[in-house]
Every structure is written in structure tokens, then in C-alpha cells.
A and B are shown apart, each in its own frame.
Chain A
């Protein structure tokens, strides 16, 4: 032995180590796959998640040059329905995408609220 451990029950041969690892990795997989089943069962009982919405990015992909991002049409704009994930659109006036993203992150951090629970309608630079 290289280290402090005395020979004895603490010794594990390399083949045994492989076997233990295989069993251990399988146990983790089986446990988490069983939990997937548990989640599906809970969802089935409680009516869990029913809809699968297409992704609507918070901001559209950066347009060429400094042009403001094109608004993404979303029916729920300005409504009281909580935003889900990155749902919704935002009107940008003389504010670049990156600046807008930064401002939204700062506001969420200041309010200590997840970004997806906030809804931003528009951002305008005040001069």
C-alpha cells in the first residue's frame, strides 16, 4: 500500500473496483429513471403539465448593425398571465439587444426574482 491504510477490509482489487463502479452507476441510473416514473405519475394524477409551447426568445436574434430587434408576436403581451420561461416580447427604443438583456438581468437581480417571473414591456433610453 502506498498510503496510511493498512491491508485488510479496506483493500479493493481493481476488478472489484470495476464491478462496484458498474453496479453503482447502474443504481444511480435506475434510481433517477424510477424518479422519472414518479414524476410522470404525479403529473398524471395532478394534471401536471398539459401544454407544450413553442420557444419564444426574450429577445429576437441580433439584427444587422444597430437596428432594434424585431418584435416577436405574442398574444399575451401586457397581460397578467405570468411569463413562462422566456415567453413574451419586448419593444426596444434606441436600446441594443445586449444592453436590454443586461438591464433585465440587473432588474431581476435587484428584485431577487427569477427572470421568467417578470414581464418587460418596453425599454426606452431616457435622454
Chain B
């Protein structure tokens, strides 16, 4: 028995020997640890960020064999070898199929639907306009991404970050630009966690003190029948308008019907708790695991081997464009809020416009907090929930439009 040979082999096959082969992976491990710190110590969106960060850590540890991005990178669904993944893949490869097949975003939407109360929106239907206006960032980021040289399919996927809706961003990107899924998902969820920091300066810059102090009248009560009919009507209307968005809207409204019907409490409870939690674990860990620092790829123009992993110029641009998308969306909502303030003779507080970005309910809480700062007796939360849930529908419609464009232009 040659002990020296055994020790040498052990060293050669260990991850320690290879951790610095690609410095990008080591950097990603550091970033994962920083994100874990933010989630655990600072409490930044820990339900999502912890899974994303740990998935990132696992995928960047050499030799772990849990995730093989080469099975998926740059491949459309029809080009992926499911047999290879099941035979040679790690646990994260198998779980990642749920992302590639768009199972997780739809199931998460079902859970969110079961948690959503459309009451404030139904009581004040005009608030839906703010949910539409807050999609401005989607299209501003789309244009900017084109200006920066991204392809149309990539620009559309980057733009949807402005919808502030993680599942929708993953859903669209899986179809249009799967190679950008990692950075787009990380950007979308990170900025959602940072909404309390991003939105208030924009809200203050675009409104006057008098507008911020506006007290809104009590919303009208909504009867149960309306709440039951609404998800059915929205499903029929939206799916007929944009069939591509059927999986998202269908699951969202099914979850909501579970809740409002009152006859399947067990299903509603499962959708908004157990199912949502399980899928959140799978989604967050696998999305994090797509953020591998170094993946060898080929530049189609020059034929050179290049890094197509997370640490590339395009990722930095996506992070930057994502921030701009969030900012433009917030501004769009507030500007239309000001318009409604003017049209209604000062009855609508423009601050609720910023809640039109989806990010339920965090964006509505920001409206409440900023409003209460200027008028402590002002309770904007329920008023802001209207545009907030309208924003979820708005971002799904925006995604459906971009998917339809993708089909017409041959991006899919």
C-alpha cells in the first residue's frame, strides 16, 4: 500500500486543489457568503436570499457535482438531454428542471394567488391604472438594453426585472434567454429586497409635501360574489388576450379562487403555506446554483473560448439595468399617481402609485411608511394594496406581450 500515492490522489481529487483554477468561482463563494450575511444578519428578504446564496455556494464549490450548468447553458428546452441529467446530474440539476420547465414560477403564483386579497383593488378599480403605469420600467429597460447591445430576447428578459415580480421574470427568461436566468433572477430578487431603499428617494423627488400628506377616503366594501367571480373573469379575459400568459395567470387566479370560494380551505391553506414554502426552497436554491462563476463557452462571432458564467460584463450591465428598471417603474407609478391626484381634485395620494410595481406587499408597505412620515394619521396601506396587486397582473400581461413578440420575431 502506497500511502504517499493515496494522499496525492486524495489531494488531486479534492476541491481544495481546484478552488483557484478559476478565480471566478472563488469570488462567487465570497459573494454567496456576503448574501448569506445580508439574509441572516440584516434580514434582507431571507426567505429567498438564503436559498439563493446557499445554492450559489454549492454550485461554485469545485467537484461538488451537484450542479452542471453545461447541461443547460445556452440550450433551449428541446436541446437539453433529460436522459443525461437524470443519469449523470446532481440533485440540483434534477431540481433545476422545475425552473426550465416553468413549474416553479407557476406554482409560486398559485401560492401568491391564494395569499392575495383583491378587495382593495375591486373597491377602487381605478387603482389598476397605477398597476399599469408602474410597468414603465419594463419598457425603459428594454430600450436601454438594446442600446447597450443586447439581443431583443435578452433585452426583453432584462426589461421584465422592472415588473418587480420574481416568478414572472424567471418565467419569461426561461423562454427567451435561459443563459441569463442566473443574473436576472438574482437581480430581480435582490432589488425586491431593496425596495425600501430604492423607492422612497424617487417618491419624495417626484411629489410635493402637500401631495404626500393627502388623506384618501375609505375604500368601499366588496361583496363575496364579486371576489369569487373576479378571478374567473380575469382568467378568461387575459388568456384570451394573451394565450402565452395562461400558465401564470391561470395558476395565480386558481390560487385566488381557492381562497375566495371558501369551500376549499384546505387547498387554499396548502397553496399559500406548504406548497409555496416547498417550491420557494427548490426555486431559490436552484436559481442561486445557476450563478456559477466560470462556465466555458464560445464566442459565436470569433470562435474564442470565453467565460459565459455569472462573472461577466453582461451580468454587471444586467444588475445596472435592473436598478434602472425598478426606478423607472416606481417613477411611472408615482407620475400617474400625480395625474390621478390632479384629475380627482386631490383625492388620490400619489404615493400609492409606487406600489404599482408588483413586489407584494413590500411596495405597499413603503407607500404606507412614506405617507405616515408626512402625516402620521394617514393610513395608505389598504389603498396601496390596490395598485400593488394590479401590478402583479400588469407584469404578467407585460410578460405575455413580450412572449408573443418573441414568437413573432423568432426568439423562441
Interface residues of A (CB under 8 A from B): 1-6, 9-14, 17-18, 20-25, 27-29, 31-36, 38-40, 42-43, 45-62, 84-87, 114, 116
Contacts of B405 in A (CB 8 A): 20, 24
Quick check: is B221 within 8 A (CB to CB) of the other chain? yes
Contact B402 A29 (CB under 8 A): no
What's the nearest-Cβ distance from chain A to residue B129, in Å? 7
Those of B239-296 within 8 Å (CB) of chain A: 241-242
- Interface SS majority for chain A: loop
> Complex: how many Å from CA A12 to CA B377?
50
Contact A55 B313 (CB under 8 A): no
**Those 10 A-B pairs whose CB atoms lie nearest each other, nearest first:** A10-B151, A5-B151, A49-B220, A21-B139, A2-B149, A12-B152, A61-B377, A9-B410, A17-B146, A32-B132
Contacts of A35 in B (CB 8 A): 125, 128, 234, 237, 393
Contacts of B126 in A (CB 8 A): 36
| Chain A residue, CB-CB nearest to B410 | A9
Known A-B contacts A40-B125, A60-B377; A2 and B221 likewise in contact (beta carbons under 8 Å): no
Contact A10 B153 (CB under 8 A): yes
Contacts of A22 in B (CB 8 A): 139
Which of the candidate stretches B79-87, B102-110, B185-193, B297-305 sits at the interface with the other chain? B297-305
Contact B218 A55 (CB under 8 A): yes
Contact B147 A14 (CB under 8 A): yes
> Complex: how many Å from CA A32 to CA B377?
31
Question: 9 pairs across A/B with beta carbons < 8 Å?
Answer: A4-B299, A5-B154, A10-B411, A21-B143, A25-B139, A28-B398, A32-B397, A42-B229, A62-B376
> Complex: how many Å from CA A34 to CA B238?
10
Contact A12 B218 (CB under 8 A): no
Question: Could you say which of A10, A36, A55, A84 contacts B217, with CB atoms under 8 Å apart?
Answer: A55
Quick check: is B123 within 8 A (CB to CB) of the other chain? yes
Contact B376 A84 (CB under 8 A): no
Given A9-B411, A31-B132, A42-B230, 20 new contacts (CB under 8 A): A3-B149, A3-B313, A6-B300, A13-B146, A14-B146, A17-B147, A18-B143, A20-B139, A23-B401, A24-B138, A24-B139, A32-B390, A33-B128, A35-B237, A36-B125, A38-B234, A38-B237, A55-B216, A86-B218, A114-B117
Known A-B contacts A5-B150, A53-B218, A85-B382; A47 and B223 likewise in contact (beta carbons under 8 Å): yes
Contacts of B121 in A (CB 8 A): 39
- Interface SS majority for chain B: helix
Contact B313 A87 (CB under 8 A): no
Known A-B contacts A10-B411, A24-B138; A17 and B220 likewise in contact (beta carbons under 8 Å): no
Question: Could you say which of B142, B233, B238, B313 contacts A2, with CB atoms under 8 Å apart?
Answer: B313
Known A-B contacts A42-B230, A85-B218; A12 and B146 likewise in contact (beta carbons under 8 Å): yes
Contact B117 A33 (CB under 8 A): no
Quick check: is B379 within 8 A (CB to CB) of the other chain? yes
Contact A38 B233 (CB under 8 A): yes
Known A-B contacts A24-B402, A62-B376; A1 and B218 likewise in contact (beta carbons under 8 Å): no
Question: Could you say which of B74, B218, B382 contacts A54, with CB atoms under 8 Å apart?
Answer: B218
> Complex: how many Å from CA A39 to CA B221?
14
> Complex: how many Å from CA A71 to CA B225?
35
